[in-house]
Structures are given as structure tokens and as C-alpha cells.
Structure 1
């Protein structure tokens, strides 16, 4: 399970805003939440992430990409702590905002899909996870190119799902692509 957490988190949690993307207060809160997360202080990180969400909603409005980022981060913290029922609606709202604000094929939408799929996979809801992982992979391949590290992460997540559902041959095929992408000197 730890490996799955690392795989999902490598690209997803906690999302850090691009420089100048949000208010100074919001950016500081997001960075503080990430720091607390990295220290394993998940309860404190979640409290700070809630503040970041409040700031984003107040300053940017409920449909802004900063709100989607904040929702994703808070959901990820809940997921890590096994609070799946609290995480799911936040992931879904984050995805809906990202799709509306950024378009259905934006890389941030792929990240939201990946995270929601990871939640379903963690809960053993493989049939719900698979199409989300596949859509995330397709978006990343189309927008970032077939050899991008985020594509490798999506492939690995899907391969993990295949292994969990006794589809070892399919998993092995994907894992070979992962290895090839990661072997590329950047």
C-alpha cells in the first residue's frame, strides 16, 4: 500500500501553485500544508489546507482553479488518513471545477482524475477506478507527450490496478513502458 501512496503522491500531493498564481496568503498556506504533510503531520496539514481552501474561495470565487487545487490537497490529506468518505466529494468537486475552468483535456484534470481513481483503488472499487486512470493517461499522453514522466506515473497506477485485478500480462506491458520512459535521460 505504501508504494501506491508514493506513486499517487509523486505527482499529486500536495499541489503547489505556480508563482504568482494565487494570493500571497493562499500560496503561503498551500506551501505550509505541503511542509506539514512532508513532516507527516497530517492533522495539522489538513487544518492549514482548510484555511487555504477558505482563502481561495473567498478571494477567487468557488469555481476558480485555486479552489480546485485546495480541494485536491485537502482530499488527499483525508485519503492518506483513511477518511475516504470525506475525501471523495472533495475530489469530485475539484475535478468538476478543473474541467469547467481549464477544459476537459488539461493536465490538472488528469491529476484530479488520477487522484479520484487512486481513492477508488484504495477502497477496492476497481471498476470505478479503471476508466478514470485510463482517461488520466490519455490526457497526459495527448498534452504532455508519450514519454513524459507524468505519463509514466499514470501507466504505473494503471499497471498497479491491473495487478490487483489479476491482469498480470497487461500490467507487465504497461510496466515495460514505464521503465522505458524512466530510462530516458532528461
Structure 2
């Protein structure tokens, strides 16, 4: 500890107050130069890249604010691994070395920063592993996912189709990666309104997941949710609701109440109720989803913004309707013109009743 304090005092090391220390750039350059001159440089770089790949593999598809913060101290090292020492990354670590960084940015909606890592991953896996390798299929799939998130559907589709074809040829028809690829392609078609093409793919993916992973698995919950989304998009609400409820229950059971996927399920179920005019049932679900998303992903995450907009739309729908200024301009003359005739008609009815008596 005295050594660390001395280095901090000399401004050679910066204490970040979070359990991490940052070495002065000049000191870092000195150690790097010493390492380069050492016979241990090559194995040290390989170990470094291996450690970074393992760390990168810990990044989930949808990282929370907490995970993003925990990941920050490693960010420069992960970038150095793929940027400065790509030749020292083992073949089996290639995919994850880039994917963790892509997920870090993609999960925050920073698509423009994530894209170069997805593209570099595809290039690296193809160069080192050849075109016919499962990691190439995964790289194609991840790049397609990124394009789909941005609404770049025409760019995403050929990549999804290539990935699916590769997975089937290399892994066979009965593999979880094939199920995931089917699910992703189906979601793309749903987003484009190509419902008749999407449904058989979703059903095939769900059947595969259940057979390979069992009924109680997060991927099964995702597949149920996506099939429900498809039915919801088609107005098949009675078919969608039990699937949404099953997916929500499964996610809570497997992932706990505080998970982004649970928030997604709550938002989707609320959307179904909104579409049916069941506003009182939809509102508490939107509120719960929004609270979860704000806590887990932050106020500025795309999913949080979408949920907030959904809630605002619901509340707007619940407001008593009032005529706009231009509607008043149209309605007022009509009322003025017809009022005398209406009063005359009422008077006539009254006189007739009096006469009959």
C-alpha cells in the first residue's frame, strides 16, 4: 500500500477512487517498451488477449447500467486487445473479443460505435477461420441484429439467411443456434409486416427450443414472447395474451423480477391491453415496465424511451375528448343554422301533445 501511495503522490499513478488505478501514460509507455524488449513479450500478449476475451464473454445481450459501469475499467484494455494485438488473439477467442465490445455499445443504443466492432468481428472470423465456421455464422447474425435494431431491414435479411444456412450445414437442423437464427429471421419479417413468412419460422424455433432446452429456459420465454408479438401485430389478441402471460411468468421465474426482459414482457402485455381498449389494465403494467427500465437501463435508453412514449399515448387516449379550434369553426355555424328548426320541432310536439289531451 505504501508503494501505491508513493506512486500516487508522485502523480505516476492516478487513484480513481473505485478500487482501480490508472498508470501515467509515460509510465505505461516505459513498461510497454521494456516488455517489447523482453523474451516474454509474445506469451504475455497472448495471455493478455486471452484474459480480455474471457472478460468480453461476460457481456450480456442487454447490459444493465450496473453492468456497463462494472465494464468501464476494462474498456480500454478490450479495445487494445482487438486494436493493437489482434494477431495474438487465439482462434477460439476471436468472436468474443469483438462481440463483448459490440454488445457494450449496442446495448446502450450506441449503434454507430457498435457497428465497426461487428464488422471487424465478421472480417476477423472469416480471415482466420474460413467462411464455413460456426463463429462466422454468429458474426453474421450479430451484424444483422445490429442492422435490424436500426430498421435497416434490407441489409439485415441476407445476413440472417447466410447465418441460418451456415448453422444448418455445420451444426445440423437440431441445434439451439439454428433455433435462434430462425427466431431472428422471423422477427425481421414481423417488423416488415411479412406475417405469413414469420409465423412458421417462429413456430419452428419455439418447437426446437422446447425439444433441445426444455420448457423452462430463457430462450423459450423469448420465443413465446416473439410469437405473441406476431399474433398481437395481426390483431389475434386471444392467441397472443396467454403467450405473453406465459413468457412473463417464465422470465420472472428464471431471471427474477429485476431484469430487462421482464420489463419488455410487461411493456408488451400492456401494449396488447391498450390495443383492446383495456386501459385500466394496461396502465399499471406500463408504469411497472417504465420504472424497471429506468432503473436497469437508464432514462435515455431506446427501450425506456419507447415505454415512456407508450404510456403517454395511453394517457392521451384516456383524456376526455374535446373539439379542436377547426372543429369548432365547422360545428358552430351548423348548430346556429339548425337551432331554430329544432326549437320549432320541439314546440310542434308540445302543441300536438296538448291538443291530444
TM-score by length of 2: 0.45
Match in the other structure for 1:69: 180
Divergent runs of 4+, >4 A = none
What do the CA deviations read for 1:145-165 (whole angstroms, capped 9, x no partner)? 112121111011001101111
1:57 aligned onto 2:168 = yes
Residues 109 and 169 (structure 1), Cα distance of their counterparts in 2 relative to 1, 3 Å cut: same
What do the CA deviations read for 1:98-145 (whole angstroms, capped 9, x no partner)? 111111111111111111110111110001110110010001000011
1:161 aligned onto 2:241 = no
> Where do 5+ consecutive residues of structure 1 fail to align?
1-9, 12-17
Which residue of 226, 241, 248 corresponds with 1:137? 248
Which residue of 104, 110, 116 corresponds with 2:221? 110
> Where do 5+ consecutive residues of structure 2 fail to align?
1-60, 63-94, 98-132, 298-357
Contact 2:137 2:166 in 1 (8 A): yes
Match in the other structure for 1:15: none
Residues 166 and 39 (structure 1), Cα distance of their counterparts in 2 relative to 1, 3 Å cut: closer
Q: Distance in 1 between matches of 2:217 and 2:168?
A: 21
Q: Which has the larger radius of gyration?
A: 2
Match in the other structure for 1:34: 145
Q: Distance in 1 between matches of 2:147 and 2:214?
A: 31
The structure whose RCO (Cα within 8 Å, separation 6+) is larger is 1
Q: Distance in 2 between matches of 1:158 and 1:185?
A: 19
Matched length: 170
Contact 2:260 2:296 in 1 (8 A): no
